[in-house]
Amino acid sequence: MTEQTFAERVSRWYEENARDLPWRKPGTSPWAILVSEVMLQQTPVVRVVPAWEAWLARWPVPAALAAESPADAIRMWGRLGYPRRAVRLYECAVALVERHAGEVPERLDQLLALPGVGTYTARAVAAFAYGQRHPVVDTNVRRVVARAVAGEPDAGPTTRPSDLVATEELLPVEPAAAALASAAFMELGAVVCTARSPRCAVCPVERVCAWRAAGQQAPTGPTRRPQRYAGTDRQVRGLLLAVLREATGPVARLRLDQVWADDVQRSRALAALVTDGLVEPVGEASYRLVGDGPAHLPI
């Protein structure tokens, strides 16, 4: 009996222990999978689940979202964070209708050309929606590979081409098995090989883990630069957007002025929201979410 490969070990564990996440149900559409991947960018699974279900119930196909406005997308996004992703998803729906007959393309280069779709998301859709063989490298996979294969306590701060190569080398040849292995690597990193308190006692590759073998040296420090929030423009943007999200239609500038005392910073944040396509001025002294008005009349 030949020894199991790393991918086989993790895949077998995955088949027995995978979380029951709704977008993993057989028959989930490529669009639904794309939506899940965008929502999961920097937002924890538990908060994505209900938002994903509501989003797909309202917009089951790209054309349904494309027919509405960025404002609708921003409201539906709720408090998932980084609301630019909602606008990108709207733009994505428009692009799918205009360029791909309302479908999610299968080709990696076409996926990469979509708004808000980068190295990770494009490969995740190609693998999980279409069963293609691509390295799907997110923060979990980088950590798993860094530890189990390279013997390092943590991955580097950013995804590099070498990360894709290292992961690709672990994938089975057969595409469906490769896609399964990618999901399994991610799951292992999310549930067992976590950043702070890895649960090595229940790890399926504990006995072949290079990090374990090397004495499991502790992580040296934060993987990424510390992200402050309190007092930053990001906090002010969040406060402004929360007001606009709750409102229906335009909000007076005077009302927005009350969310933050510092005039300079508040104005800068509001201007940035306009630049980023989240907010637009209405008349002389009001603002609204982009497109937050009566639907366009047919020409």
Contact positions toward DNA, by CB under 7 A? 21, 23-24, 36-37, 40-45, 47, 79-84, 88, 115-122, 124, 138-140, 143, 157-158, 186-187, 189-190, 194-197, 219, 222-227, 229, 232-235, 237-239, 241-242, 272, 276
Task: Report CA torsion sign: 235, 236, 240, 243.
Answer: positive
| Structure token digits, residue 276 | 């980023």
Q: Would you say 62 or 116 has its CB closer to DNA?
A: 116
Contact 290, 277 (CB under 8 A): yes
Q: Would you say 121 or 167 has its CB closer to DNA?
A: 121
**In the complex, minimum distance from the CB of residue 118 to DNA, in angstroms, rounded to a whole number:** 3
DSSP secondary structure letters along 200-260: GGG-TTGGG-HHHHTT-PPP-S-SS-----TTSHHHHHHHHHHHHHHSSS-EEHHHHGGG-
Q: Would you say 3 or 274 has its CB closer to DNA?
A: 274
**In the complex, minimum distance from the CB of residue 136 to DNA, in angstroms, rounded to a whole number:** 9
**In the complex, minimum distance from the CB of residue 277 to DNA, in angstroms, rounded to a whole number:** 10
**In the complex, minimum distance from the CB of residue 298 to DNA, in angstroms, rounded to a whole number:** 31
Taking Cα atoms as reference points, which of 211, 207, 228 lies closest to residue 219? 211
The stretches of the chain forming alpha helices (DSSP H) are: 6-17, 30-39, 45-58, 62-66, 70-77, 84-100, 108-112, 119-128, 139-148, 161-168, 175-191, 210-213, 233-246, 253-256, 263-275
Q: Would you say 4 or 110 has its CB closer to DNA?
A: 110
**In the complex, minimum distance from the CB of residue 252 to DNA, in angstroms, rounded to a whole number:** 20
Q: Would you say 4 or 223 has its CB closer to DNA?
A: 223
Distance from C-alpha of 159 to C-alpha of 121, rounded to nearest angstrom: 13
Pick the catalytic residue from 3, 8, 15, 37.
37
Our answer to whether residue 53 is catalytic in this structure is no
- Which positions are catalytic? 37
